[in-house]
Amino acid sequence: MLQLKNLYGGYGKITILNGVEFEIPKGTITTVIGPNGAGKSTVFKAIFGLLNVHSGQILLEGRDVTGRTPKQMIGEGVTYVPQGRNVVPQLSVYHNLELGGITARDQSAVRARIEKVMDQFPMLREFRDRKAIELSGGQQKQLEVARALLLDPKLILIDEPSIGLSPNLVAEVFRTLQALRDDGVTILMVEQNAKAALAMSDFGIVLELGQTRMHDRADALLADPRVGQLFLGGHMEEA
């Protein structure tokens, strides 16, 4: 689904990504882990067109999409759920969903898609007229993911979905992502809760200092002592 080739990028003259390379298979969940400052969120912004790429390539299903804008990436079937809460708190659940499809030309198709999404997330149908601020943290995250589905994406980039959530709500959000994976959506996720995220993922990537240090099946990374070393401090040995 997605391939990064020797990707360099950053903010102004500051380079954060220093040759990132990895591949994401279709219909899988891949989790990116690493210490603060490793470039995890930065690589998502580069993929989605929110960050200038200095060199390297981003390939989506074999097509070069390097340098595309966020609007163009949405047109390519990619959506991005950033960190934190990104709902409009005083709007209803239904109106928040409508915002997800506001740029679409065919609004009747958007309404039909909202109905389909609410079938996937029964809680949203139950609370459709409730203000978003009245939802729990886990319910708000489900609303964000549901809104990202309105344009029928093939790839979802989701950054730190567990921030501020209790363990039970984290498990609920992860089950939601697994259900989407089972429906054929490819998911690339950044997550600080490494153990829990790898346990529900198919593949894992370890970033450090803007470089890909490891890329393997998630269960293999969980069992690798170098992953523990990374989160205990210090630098990894060259993989």
Model confidence at 168: pLDDT above 80: no
Q: For tokens 């886990």, what's the residue?
A: 138
Q: What is the pLDDT of residues 78-114, one digit of tens each?
A: 988 887 667 788 889 888 888 776 655 566 777 888 8
- Judged by average pLDDT, the poorest of 51-60, 61-70, 111-120 is 111-120
E strands within the chain? 2-11, 14-24, 29-33, 53-60, 63-64, 78-81, 155-159, 186-190, 203-208, 211-217
Residue 187's pLDDT is 95
Q: What span, in angstroms and rounded, lies between the C-alpha atoms of 47 and 28?
A: 17
Pair 237, 226: CB distance under 8 Å: yes
Closest alpha carbon to 153 in 188, 128, 111, 118: 188
Read off the pLDDT of residues 116-153 as tens digits, 9 standing for 90 and up: 888 878 888 899 899 988 888 778 888 888 888 787 78
Task: Answer yes or no: are the C-beta atoms of 25 and 216 closer than 8 Å.
Answer: no
pLDDT of residue 230: 61
Contact 100, 150 (CB under 8 A): yes
Average pLDDT, the chain: 85
Query: What pLDDT is stored for residue 99 in this prediction?
Result: 79
How confident is the model at residue 150, as a pLDDT?
80
Read off the pLDDT of residues 179-217 as tens digits, 9 standing for 90 and up.
Answer: 889 989 999 999 888 888 899 999 999 998 899 999 999
